[in-house]
């Protein structure tokens, strides 16, 4: 049953699934009154990856100050909040438990409903967010809500933990079409960065170095994964391993096996690092755009078989890697070539944040998909 939630009601969003402690206040489903993100990158940098125990402890210490800061920045009071939305899956179980427990305590004490939000699906909402005047007085107009003619839409999430394509019938009705069978694209970026001795998380640095070598981006011919002819899944481990072999070299003989031709390790001078980043980025982004084109083609075939089937009208993009310069440029031309509207998130909403959680939570609540205080933290997403 749809829930009555006014279009100018305030939602408090909470996000703790990985290494960002975040809280946000949204008016309606789009207007961000505040979005506070406390990143833990400095705590995990020396390990070149997120350490779950360290992350859990940092979330526990930071969650209440972060919620308070979000309320203060939004210039509202806690008792004006009508809904609490929390990212409850997928993610690291310790960190998720901190956010879910805080959200339950707040919903119970404020006597408002709670809604659990899938973190990966929430990334698809990021392109709808926009910054608005703070305070509870400035009401949103109805025209400001998400346009229904943007749907159905093809969704793409490209992040450090996930790479997946979705079919979205509405902002809250989302079905997975395919995803990575091994590494996520952001993970591949971070591992390539580590091979080159760049800081963690390395995606933005690889992107920057790649842009400095646009003229030599074909120096290394790395593979692009296609999988089967009809597959909408992704694979990035082959590309990552190809970069590793280029960097470390392939021995002529190793582990009792002889290889046809060995190659020596590369001398990692600055230009070689730039060329490796550019050659890697070219193929990583090609693997993504190739699957988007394939999904659009398959949707088109469906339309041919069934006249009533509505073709995709827009592309919704989200996740940390949607900040990537090459991906953004290529998506603009792909969308215009295929006649689709494109929703790219503002840079602040590409990476993990709680505004996207509040936004999708609001839409789920409006569709009647509320939870209660038995809401559980779930490390994986089972079926969606």
What are the structure tokens assigned to 225, written together? 């994964």
- Cβ at position 157, least distance to ligand KG4 in Å: 8
What are the structure tokens assigned to 303, written together? 């339309």
- Cβ at position 294, least distance to ligand KG4 in Å: 22
- Residue selected from 87, 161, 345, 361 as contacting ligand KG4 according to rule CB under 6 A: 161
Find the binding residues for ligand KG4 in span 30-59 (CB under 6 A). Answer: none
DSSP 240-292: HHHHHHHHH-B-SEETTEE-SS-BPPPP--HHHHHHHHHHHHHHHHHHHHHHH
Residue 242 to residue 223: CA distance in whole angstroms: 8
Three-state DSSP string of 116-140:
EEEHHHHHCCHHHCEECCCCCCCCC
Cis peptide before 151 (omega within 30 of 0): no
- Cβ at position 272, least distance to ligand KG4 in Å: 20
What are the structure tokens assigned to 46, written together? 């020396």
Give the per-residue contact string, 326-345, with ligand KG4 (x = CB under 6 A; - = no): --------------------
Tell me: does residue 320 bind ligand KG4 (CB under 6 A): yes
Q: Which stretch binds Zn ion (CB under 5 A): 22-30, 98-106, 151-159, 170-178?
A: 151-159
Cα dihedral value 249, 255, 260, 263, nearest 10: 10
Q: In this structure, what DSSP letter does residue 144 have?
A: G
Query: By C-beta, is 28 or 87 nearer to ligand KG4?
Result: 87
Tell me: does residue 352 bind Zn ion (CB under 5 A): yes
Nearest residue to ligand KG4, using CB?
320
207 binds, among Zn ion, ligand KG4, none (CB under 5 to 8 A by kind): ligand KG4
The site for ligand KG4 (CB under 6 A) is made up of 18, 159-161, 186, 189-190, 201-204, 207, 319-321, 323-324, 351-352
The site for Zn ion (CB under 5 A) is made up of 159, 352
């Amino acid at each position: 049953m749809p829930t009555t939630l006014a279009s100018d009601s305030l939602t408090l969003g909470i996000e703790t699934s990985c290494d960002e402690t975040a809280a946000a206040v949204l008016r309606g489903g789009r207007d961000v009154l505040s979005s506070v993100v406390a990143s833990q990158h400095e705590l995990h940098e020396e390990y070149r990856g997120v350490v779950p125990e360290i992350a859990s402890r940092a979330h526990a210490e930071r969650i209440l100050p972060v919620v308070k800061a979000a309320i203060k920045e939004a210039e509202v009071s806690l008792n004006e909040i009508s809904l609490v939305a929390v990212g409850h899956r997928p993610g690291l179980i310790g960190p998720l438990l901190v956010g879910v427990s805080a959200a339950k305590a707040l919903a119970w004490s404020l006597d408002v409903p709670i809604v659990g939000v899938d973190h990966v699906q929430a990334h698809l909402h990021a392109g709808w967010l926009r910054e608005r005047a703070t305070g509870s007085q400035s009401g949103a107009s109805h025209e400001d809500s998400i346009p229904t003619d943007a749907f159905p839409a093809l969704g793409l999430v490209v992040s450090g933990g996930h790479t997946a394509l979705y079919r979205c019938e509405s902002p809250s009705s989302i079905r997975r079409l395919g995803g990575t069978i091994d590494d996520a694209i952001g993970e591949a970026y971070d591992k390539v960065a580590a091979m080159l001795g760049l800081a963690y998380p390395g995606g933005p640095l690889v992107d920057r170095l790649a842009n400095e070598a646009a003229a030599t981006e074909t120096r290394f011919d790395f593979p692009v994964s296609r999988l089967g002819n009809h597959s909408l899944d992704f694979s990035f481990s082959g590309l990552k391993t190809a970069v590793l072999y280029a960097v470390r070299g392939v021995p002529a003989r190793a582990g009792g096996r002889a290889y046809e031709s060995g190659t020596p390790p590369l001398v990692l001078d600055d230009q070689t690092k730039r060329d490796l980043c550019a050659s890697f980025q070219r193929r990583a982004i090609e693997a993504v755009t190739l699957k988007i084109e394939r999904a659009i083609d398959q949707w088109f075939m469906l339309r041919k078989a069934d006249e009533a089937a509505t073709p995709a009208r827009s592309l919704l993009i989200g996740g940390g890697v949607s900040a990537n310069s090459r991906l953004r440029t290529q998506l603009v031309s792909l969308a215009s070539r295929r006649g689709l509207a494109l929703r790219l998130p503002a840079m602040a909403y590409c990476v993990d944040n709680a505004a996207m959680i509040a936004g999708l939570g609001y839409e789920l609540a409006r569709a009647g998909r509320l939870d209660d205080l038995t809401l559980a933290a779930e490390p994986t997403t089972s079926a969606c």
